[in-house]
Structure 1
Amino acid sequence: MKRTNVLTEGAIFVAIYTVFLLITLYVPILSVISIFFLSTPFIIFGIRHGIKQSFVLLLASIVMTFLVGSIVSLPIGLMFSVTGIIMAYFYRQKRQLFALIGGTISLLINFVLDYALSIVFLGVDLFSDVIQQAKSSVKETLAAFPSMDEEMKKTMMEQMNEQFDLLMNLLPSMFVIVSFMLAVIIHILNIGIMKRLKLNVGTITPFRDWKFPKSIIWYYLIATLLMLINLPKESFVNIALYNIVFVLQTVLLIQGFSFIFYFCHVKKLSKAVPVLIVIGTFILPILLYPVRILGIIDLGFNLRGKIR
């Protein structure tokens, strides 16, 4: 009887997964939301029945992915289904933080594999192609202004090319950061569902209480100082330093946002206030700098300890 119930529930979750996959593949407007729910059936099923049963669900979902999509849609299905199973494993152990870490690692591995396979087997370097198209667009835009001084055009083009090349070099750290952000979104969207289904998955430290090790500041300082050394732009060490600094800057930014949430909580301000501040910061990127500095001060001088 129990096995029959598991199979029945598995069939239901495969159907739910298929619906979300269809929306993701064929309804562009809703796909931005539906793609994050591709993990949901695997998370719920995995918590209820364990990781072994989840792999049976995974096999069924692969078949359905082929039927409703194509081989091109398989990487998307695998990325979110495997991530859901890994997160479910830790949720089942009531370790939400490890679920976030596991989800991040799973997404990162999938991103790297998909990127590498697309280059090796399809001969398509998507990120490089986007960068090249952006360079061409900038060049065409500048050419549309014949009255502009040629020397100025050349200088602007060189500056833009440097920025685009920097983006290309930052690809590894961007994979890491995007993977973490996606894992957080999946967690936030599914934690409410799990609570509604009365699944005990433990707790996680509230974002306002997040505090990274103080040593992060020293790592950031050392990496920044090393960047002052005149290294060849395309050298491994230089690219590695750029990525390390970028990741550490993101960590300090998260620390700054955490402090803002903590401050608003202590001062009993509306929960909407810190959320609006975060949104406003990304709308006006210049605000990222003071938030990052806030993160540095909070880590270095325990700023939140001085708030009453």
Structure 2
Amino acid sequence: MKYRWTSLAWSVAYLLLLLSLSTPFIIITTLFLMVPAVVLFATLNVRQFILTILPVWLILGIINPIYIVIAAYLIIPALVMGRWYKRKAPALSTMLAGAITLMGEFLLLLLLGKTLFQFDLYSYVYDVLNEMRTMALSPIQEFGMGGILGDSSDISNNSRAFIQVIPLALIMGSALITVVTHSIVRPILASMGYALPKLKPAREWRIPKSFIWYYLIATVLQLFFYNSSNNFVLMITDNLVPLLRICFILQTIGFFFFVAHERNWNKIFPVALSVIAILLPPIWIIGIIDLVAPVREMVSKSKR
């Protein structure tokens, strides 16, 4: 009985989260949409899972069929993560599987939209920005400041710039959703008696040294093709450079937690330093130094 009531509670939570997409809380609730589905799939067999999810989808279809489309889009990475949890795969492997599935779905949708419906992402972004400019232009023109919104050429440039960073936004968005999902699901499953591998502690975070070479090459290409018409190279570098910087920030955070662990510092110190590293991006240079020099070994030796 308790088991059935738990499944019912998660199905209700799943329904409410999907319905929240029509509210102003969509930005927040989107991060948690996969949680109920992952928990249900990880704790139920396939038949039980279908019987639990099906009524939710039927209710969504009655209210608005678009909810089913969104639910179908998010159910696939949820099933992937749930499957990985059942296999007790490493935490990082589970999150990567979920993030890659999310990104793959988005790219597949773009491909199908382009192939079947001649969907042009650039035209869509241009139309949205142009409509936003038109809506804001009328009240601003009354004060004689219409020029601050730019003209059609500015909208065109902004559209191209937006499309250039879509891969980075896609990677970051997928990673954020899967990290939030894992951070919530794992403790829940652990409380239900499912022993799952933990993510490595922050002090053990290390990225490959080869990332430094990738960063150098990407930076040189970015400078070399700055005024070039080669949009493909620019798109790669414009996404790869900030993504690698984020990796260096993670390396820096790992170093802070390593030093705090070795020196028996209060946990508030590495947390505060990590926040500073995020707010002040140039501090990621510490992560590069940690990669190229045996800094951690020096810290361990000085402790002894």
Q: Normalising by structure 1, report the TM-score.
A: 0.75
1:25-40 correspondence to structure 2 within 5 Å: 25-29=21-25, 31-40=26-35
Task: Tell which deviates more after alignment, 101-110 or 58-67.
Answer: 58-67
Q: How many residues align?
A: 294
Aligned mate of 2:17, from 13, 16, 20: 20
Matched to 1:166, the amino acid is A
SS at match of 2:224: coil
1:157-306 correspondence to structure 2 within 5 Å: 165-230=160-225, 232-282=228-278, 284=279, 287-291=280-284, 293-306=285-298
Aligned mate of 2:72, from 64, 73, 78: 78
SS at match of 2:250: helix
How large is the RMSD of aligned CA atoms in angstroms?
A: 4.1
Task: Tell which deviates more after alignment, 79-88 or 171-180.
Answer: 79-88
User: 1:224, 1:245 within 8 Å by CA — same for their partners in 2?
Assistant: yes
Percent identity over the alignment is 23
User: 1:38, 1:81 within 8 Å by CA — same for their partners in 2?
Assistant: no
User: 1:128, 1:168 within 8 Å by CA — same for their partners in 2?
Assistant: no
Matched to 1:73, the amino acid is Y
Matched to 1:82, the amino acid is I
User: Cα–Cα, structure 1 residues 197 and 9, in superposed 2: closer, same or farther, change >3 Å?
Assistant: closer
User: 1:104, 1:183 within 8 Å by CA — same for their partners in 2?
Assistant: yes
Structure 1 residue 299 displacement after superposition: 1.6
Task: Tell which deviates more after alignment, 118-127 or 211-220.
Answer: 118-127
1:53-93 alpha-carbon deviations (Å, 9 max, x no partner): 5455454443333234x233334323433222211111111
1:49 is aligned to 2:44: yes
User: 2:42, 2:82 within 8 Å by CA — same for their partners in 1?
Assistant: yes
Give the distance between the partners of 1:71 and 1:215, measured in 2 at CA: 47
User: Cα–Cα, structure 1 residues 171 and 37, in superposed 2: closer, same or farther, change >3 Å?
Assistant: closer
Give the distance between the partners of 2:29 and 2:220, measured in 1 at CA: 43
Give the distance between the partners of 1:133 and 1:298, measured in 2 at CA: 48
User: Cα–Cα, structure 1 residues 218 and 51, in superposed 2: closer, same or farther, change >3 Å?
Assistant: farther
1:64 is aligned to 2:77: no
User: 1:51, 1:89 within 8 Å by CA — same for their partners in 2?
Assistant: no
Gaps of 5+ in 2: none
User: Cα–Cα, structure 1 residues 45 and 243, in superposed 2: closer, same or farther, change >3 Å?
Assistant: same
Q: Normalising by structure 2, report the TM-score.
A: 0.76
Gaps of 5+ in 1: none
1:138-186 alpha-carbon deviations (Å, 9 max, x no partner): 9999989989xx9xx899x999986764343111122112211221111
